[in-house]
């Protein structure tokens, strides 16, 4: 049996409509998902979900956010690399 370590790096451009991330939305999201302090933390979470295939655009429903298009959420992978380390 062989173990191979691979480094995979994705750079994701996340666009979102900041007007949808109101104090009410942030409070509600934090109450039923987990505490998120700012829109940058949402962008990180959304980018991670996108590269794992759990969030797409434009037609997907994203848990905790609803329809991506309604929230102004879109993604673009700007760089990707893989290498055995």
pLDDT 10s digits, 1-20 = 999 999 999 999 999 999 99
Please give the Cα distance from 79 to 72 (Å, whole number).
22
pLDDT value at residue 58: 65
Please give the Cα distance from 27 to 35 (Å, whole number).
8
In terms of Cα–Cα distance, which of 10, 11, 29, 12 is closest to 71? 29
Contacts of 79 (CB under 8 A, 6+ apart): 9, 10, 11
* pTM, entire model: 0.88
pLDDT 10s digits, 29-50 = 999 998 998 999 999 999 999 9
pLDDT 10s digits, 52-85 = 988 876 678 999 999 999 999 999 999 999 999 9
């Amino acid at each position: 049996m062989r173990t191979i370590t691979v480094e995979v790096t994705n750079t994701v451009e996340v666009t979102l409509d900041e007007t949808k991330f109101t104090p009410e939305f942030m409070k509600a999201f934090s109450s039923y998902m987990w505490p998120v302090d700012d829109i940058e933390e949402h962008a990180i979470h959304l980018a991670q979900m996108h590269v794992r295939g759990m969030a797409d655009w434009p037609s997907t429903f994203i848990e905790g956010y609803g329809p991506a298009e309604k929230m102004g959420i879109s993604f673009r992978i700007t760089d990707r690399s893989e290498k055995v380390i």
